[in-house]
Amino acid sequence: MPREPIFDVSKIDTSKLLANKEDIARVNPHRYEFAQLDGIYFMDSDTNIMAGFRDVREDEFWVRGHIPGRPLFPGALMIETAAQMVSYYAMEQMPDKGFLGFAGVDNVKFRGQITPGEKVILLGKMVELKERRCIGDTQAFLNGKQVFEGRITGMWI
């Protein structure tokens, strides 16, 4: 059974963006086909919550081979997308720390399939943001249904 949503997905105003791909690129170092996060809807440093999104496109590098005739967004890329959202939040909150590297993932569950042409909404809550590392709980929703959850750990490099 999925965990409760970090917050109510229906409360997100998807018509407003805090950060688009270009804004994200000013903070996160990911480029080209490995820039997975398409936008940030909001971040709240008082509650340590955030929301972003990923548009899954038909022209992406993995579509042809994962799975031919029935492409499914790879779980590894869902984890990476969530990690990029956590990274963006942490590096915005602690800009002088430098680069936040991926250090681990725990309690991952995939609860549905994502196919090209769909928009995935990501939710996050930082549970630890310290000098040595940060930890964020993440969830992803498609059409209001939770399709992913996982805890992302990053370490400052």
Q: How far is CA 132 from CA 94, 136, 141, 153, 157, in A?
A: 11, 14, 30, 11, 9
51, 123 contact by CB (below 8 A): yes
Q: How many CA atoms lie within 13 A of 85 on its CB side?
A: 35
- Choose the catalytic residue: 18, 35, 66, 72: 66
Q: Report which DSSP code applies to 5.
A: P
For the purposes of burial, counting CB atoms within 10 Å of the CB of 90, is it exposed (0-12), middle (13-18) or buried (19 or more)?
A: buried
Q: Is 66 a catalytic residue?
A: yes
Q: Contact 96/46 with Cβ under 8 angstroms? A: no
Q: Which are the catalytic amino acids?
A: 66
